[in-house]
Amino acid sequence: MKKLSDVMGLVLLSSWCLILLSCSKQDTPLETETTVVSRERVLLDTNWRFYKYLDASQADPLIYDVRPQIESDEDGKQADAKPTEAVDVESTAFVLKPWILPSANPFIAESGQQHQRPVGEPAIADGFPFIQADFDDAQWQSVQVPHDWAINGPFYKGDNAPVGGGMGRLPSPGVAWYRNSFELSAADASKSIFLDVDGAMSYAMVWLNGHLVGGWPYGYASWRLDLTPYVKRSGKNQLAIRLDNPPASSRWYPGGGLYRNVWLTKTNPVHVGQWGTHVQTANVSQESAQVSIAIDIDNDSQQSIEVSSQTQFYTFDSTDNIAKQAVATINTDPVLIEAGGSSTVEGTVKINNPNLWGPLPNQVPNRYLALTRVLQNGIVVDEYETRFGIRDLRFDGKNGLFVNGEHIYFQGVNQHHDLGALGAAFNVRAAQRQLALLREMGVNAIRLAHNPPASELLELTDKMGFVVIDEIFDVWARKKTPLDFHLIFPDWAEPDLRAFIRRDRNSPSVIMWSIGNEVGEQYTAEDGAEIAQRLHDIVKQEDRSRPTATSMNYAKPHMPLPAVMDTISLNYQGEGIRNAPEYLHLQGIRTEPLYPAFHHAFPDKMIMSSENAAAVSSRGEYLFPVTKGISAPITDGAGGDPVTQQVSAYELYTAQFGSSADKVLASLAQHPFVSGGFVWSGWDYLGEPTPYYGARSSYFGVIDLAGFKKDRFYLYQSMWRPDFPMVHILPHWNWPERVGEVTPIHVFTSGDEVELFLNGKSLGRQAKAEFASRIRWDDVVYEPGELTAQAYKLGKPWAQASVSTTGAASKLLVKADRQTIQADGVDLSFVTIKVQDENGLTVPRANNQLSFSLDGPGEIVATDNGDATNLVSFASHQRAAFNGLALVIVKGRKGQAGKLVLRVESEGLPTQTANIVTEAN
């Protein structure tokens, strides 16, 4: 085996000194004598200059379109509130929309619906300084991309803040500019030059050398612009990108800026198009598989050209190694492509004894590399890589999902796109950490809520063996917030959807396309179903190998919308919404458990619980008294404290529309035809801090924003990893103010019985009841000391855990998750600080103030403690521990290998350090 980095050549582009990957002829032999000419893909991560207007009302007039006035934006309204109609707006200002819309043309199927660019440049931009090459941006901020302009705050506080809790209390709205420049070499004289943007929040407009190239409004989309007509073949090319992030445009924290990677792509005029390969598999077995590839080839030249292609398939493992020899080859016949045109060539091959992609833990996520070469007159003019997996999917109305014949029950979570203290700026290591902790809990499935992810996230799920529901829209034509996606849905729904599928369709972890989440069209009967049908049909035009879904929290079996989709995707309706006795006094959607009704109406469609639970808790906060039921809505004084804005961690309390994990898991167990479900949510995320909108981040996560496990983590682990010996006790046992008072003790275990001891005295042995997720001792009177839980399975000892009353805080434990990282300015080490007593026990109520400093060639990127109410900037080097824990995120400087020493200080406690080594690539 040979490392992919060894197979690829290193190329330098101008002053950026950036690594470029380019295939080498020697290691991937072609069956003709050729000279390989490769495409170049250059990461534009450094040398960006950034400027954000202090107030959007004072920004330049280069707007995409006029927007409606915000008449009402209720921060903190229930997430299942009914979406409303769009507001009609008359455009009286000069807008740049006509120059931006043509960027969508490659993704609009009907030529008659494509957009004609106006002649010339927009007059309103004449002389505007930021787009000019001679503008001096030296006083602008120097930033590295991916970049989230809002994550360092400051947080807005109070009831009338410019940005409330719903959008994370951070300054994400506003108008800003990014500038960078590049030069081309002599070898680029005839190249096509493209700008590839993986994510820009939002309403992006791109200028090159003073010319408006185009743009893309949807902040979660990945997109390409052709720079070729505007590029200078010698000298400096000046790039300027304007972003405009509206207020009241999201129900969670959207971030702001160029928050995903930006690339410069250079190709010969004849090349594989954007996301131009589609690999499909059929007749898959252990013995063989049929693999087909469709290749879109573009001809940007001014003459018709005859081309052919060859694709070679290589095994590709989880450590980025490819085999030396191809396992199969597809050669396509020559095809004539007209000047400025495109053509699609196709071929099929049989691969014997394929390495199948399948989800862990029982299967292996094997992957393949398809290396496609485009030949013109026998000369290779382009090379294009496609990573994919060979697997068989089957969706059954009675039994759910099967992958390669194995029944896969969804033990899933929903994940938003932010990375906690890092914000929306994507980082591979941070995302990998999130997925690894979810895997430890027993998660095998991810639903991406409610927008396209970074493409690197899908590379991780491919490698790590998760199955994924890939989702694109939270709204269609009806709005949830005044300035959300509904404003651009009529023009951009089709191009956004087609681009989304073409980008992700070769990812083996993606098993389903979700085209909407709780959309307002659930309420509009046939009109809503008509929109759903149009979107469904677009999906099928792009990819027929995966089913469609749209997640419904209102539509019922007799309504027209559910009939459109290939699957039944239910948010909260399966176990019932506001139907338990504790919820009957609440206003809003009220639904009895609907799994049976949907199964009766659609017996052949797979049913899944696409969102469930919406339980809320604050890690380590336990409030009394504790509800006697298994699920209760959070209210002030009953699971919630309006003064501290903390929520009880007994894990029994929920949003008004939600249900506890206990209720959800019991309901799923009683309806075996349901294919499983997706918890809302896997991690806490920025924004939507139900029920206390004075906070910054959600309480929904099974894992808090800093990455520390809540008690609910162990509840799911006990149910989802039945063969893993574990037992977990809650609450902690530091209650000096509760001596002599009833303090309930709850236990989660993968065993079937538990005996509980307090200071050596048995409090009884209990069996886990049928469909129950916990064992409860609700009448324990508190006395300090030690709790011990002995779990049994099939009558034999299974696992044991203890919780003790601790002493006072006397020391700190500082531990890095990785003691060696790359000196690339990107790789991260996550350092946990625990406040401990003299016996090494974490003090569960410790909130000591901590100070952090770093010596060596690196920097502290962010700090956190998982407290949703903490409004200290993530960039701060001082932070209080929250219930005994805090987090510091550290990275090394690019190209500067060395030793980092993180120092943690706290008054009255000995200073502690952690050593981290940064290594050069």
Q: How many CB atoms lie within 10 A of CB 224?
A: 19
Total number of residues shown for the chain: 921
Residues with Cβ within 8 Å of 791's Cβ and at least 6 positions away in sequence, in order, are: 725, 726, 727, 747, 749, 750, 751, 753, 754, 797, 798, 799, 800
User: Alpha-carbon distance 141 to 335, whole Å?
Assistant: 50
Nearest to 893 by CA among 817, 805, 827, 842: 827
Q: How many CB atoms lie within 10 A of CB 647?
A: 27
Catalytic residues: 518, 611
User: Alpha-carbon distance 369 to 354, whole Å?
Assistant: 13
Parallel, antiparallel, or unpaired: how do β-strands 811-816 and 48-52 relate?
Answer: unpaired
Tokens representing 504 are 């992700």
Distances, alpha carbon 885 to alpha carbons 647, 708, 744, 834, in Å: 17, 8, 24, 5
Assess whether the previous peptide bond of 407 is cis (omega < 30° from 0). Answer: no
Q: Do residues 76 and 462 touch, judged by C-beta distance below 8 A?
A: no
Write the DSSP assignment of 593-641 as a string of letters: --HHHHHHH-TTS-EEEEEEE-B---TT---SS--SSS-EE-EETBEEE
Nearest to 562 by CA among 600, 584, 608, 529: 529
Residue environment code for 659-685, b if the CB has 16+ CB neighbours within 10 A, otherwise e: bbbbbbbbbbeeeebbbbbbbbbbbbb
Q: Do residues 847 and 907 touch, judged by C-beta distance below 8 A?
A: no
Assess whether the previous peptide bond of 596 is cis (omega < 30° from 0). Answer: no
Q: Do residues 762 and 755 touch, judged by C-beta distance below 8 A?
A: yes
Tokens representing 859 are 């920097």
290 membership: H or E segment, kind and range: strand 288-299
Tokens representing 411 are 């033990």
Parallel, antiparallel, or unpaired: how do β-strands 820-822 and 811-816 relate?
Answer: unpaired
Q: How many CB atoms lie within 10 A of CB 849?
A: 12
Nearest to 335 by CA among 319, 346, 320: 346
Helix (H, G, I), strand (E, B), or coil: what is residue 284? coil
Residues with Cβ within 8 Å of 70's Cβ and at least 6 positions away in sequence, in order, are: 247, 248, 482, 483
Q: Which residues pair with 241 in a beta bridge?
A: 178, 206
User: Alpha-carbon distance 502 to 278, whole Å?
Assistant: 8
User: Alpha-carbon distance 880 to 295, whole Å?
Assistant: 55
